[in-house]
Amino acid sequence: MISLRRSQAPASLLALILAATAFAAPSPPEEEAPLPQLVFEPGSYDFGLQQANSGNQAMLQLRNDGTVAAPVNSLEINGDGTFGINSGGTSCYGSNLQPGQSCWVQVVFSPYDAAPFSAQLRAYSDSGTIFTAELSGEGGRARLTTGVDPTNFGSVPVGSPGVTKTIDVTNTGNIAGGAFIAVIAGGAIGSFQLLDENCSGVPLSPRATCNLVVRFQPVSTGAKTARLGLFGDSDGGAQITLTGVGLEPEPVLEGDSPSTSADAAAPQRRAQRKPRRGRLLRHRRRAALAARRAID
């Protein structure tokens, strides 16, 4: 039996084994290409308190914070419709930002009511990567309200001095506001008079109160209704209902009229003066006769 040592193996066989071993060895993994890195500055923006039905704008920077070029494929607002992108003030559309380069996004906040709002500004780049900034703000509105509406003045006789009441108005909103004029605006405007007020011309702060002094003096009988209007620049206006009933005039007694009493007393005084004047004349004549007799 003949044994073949390793050293005696044919060279071709040894080369074949080495080639097979090299083919089976795993290749080193390939390095992944770096992804775009975009950053919004600031990362969140609060618009604060903004009057309803008005707009405010802010500029946010979008910067390439990575090591490779980052195209800005699209921009959008995700969330409430009170936020929007002003395309005319935005330079990021279609940009291909190199490392360290920036562009600008102009965001608009337009609240429609007195409430808090929030949304998210998003930028899309290659490989579907999304970069975001948080947006927030609160809508403001002035609300002028009265604790009692309608204001009832009760029943008042026609021709009387009337009834006067003070109406308190409070701003229950979250932003200052008020009215530029207060006036009896509709209904039985002849029977209600606005005597004094401090609600117009000056903004009323939240939870502050102003006053209106109104008199009900009916010009005729029957139920009366009118509107006290507070007209504001935008919000802040109010309508207050005024009610009352006009009664028949109160009867006037003959003895209760000062003019009638005076007219009735005048003839009596004149009648009383005549007898006194006659007696005085007779007394003077007697005195004169007595004096003549004494002389004679």
pLDDT tens digit string along 149-163? Answer: 899 999 999 999 999
The upper half-sphere exposure of residue 184, i.e. CA atoms within 13 Å in the direction of its Cβ, equals 19
Q: What is the pLDDT of residue 178?
A: 85
Residues 126 and 217 reside in one and the same domain: no
Residue that terminates a domain, selected from 140, 173, 203? 140
Q: Is there a contact between 102 and 116 (Cβ–Cβ < 8 Å)? A: no
Task: Identify the CATH number of the domain in which residue 201 sits.
Answer: 2.60.40.10
Distance separating the N- and C-terminal Cα atoms of the chain: 219
DSSP 221-267: SEEEEEEEEEE-SSS--EEEEEEEEEEPPPP--GGG-HHHHHHHHHH
Domain range enclosing 193: 144-247
Give the amino acid at 205.
S
Q: Is residue 115 part of a domain?
A: yes
Q: How does pLDDT run across 74-131, given as a tens digit for each residue?
A: 999 998 889 999 999 999 998 999 999 999 999 999 999 999 999 999 999 987 789 9
The Cα 179–Cα 212 span in angstroms is 12
> Is 44 contained in some domain?
yes
Query: Does the residue 267 lie in any domain?
Result: no
- 38-51 confidence digits (pLDDT tens): 999 999 999 999 99
Cα-only R_g, the chain:
49
Report pLDDT for 6. Answer: 47
Q: What phi and psi values does residue 58 have, to the nearest 5 degrees?
A: -145, 145
Q: What is the pTM of this model?
A: 0.65
How many domains are contained in the chain? 2
Domain endpoint, select from 247, 271, 290? 247
Cα 99 to Cα 64: distance, rounded to the nearest angstrom: 5
| pLDDT tier for residue 283 given thresholds of 50, 70 and 90 | low
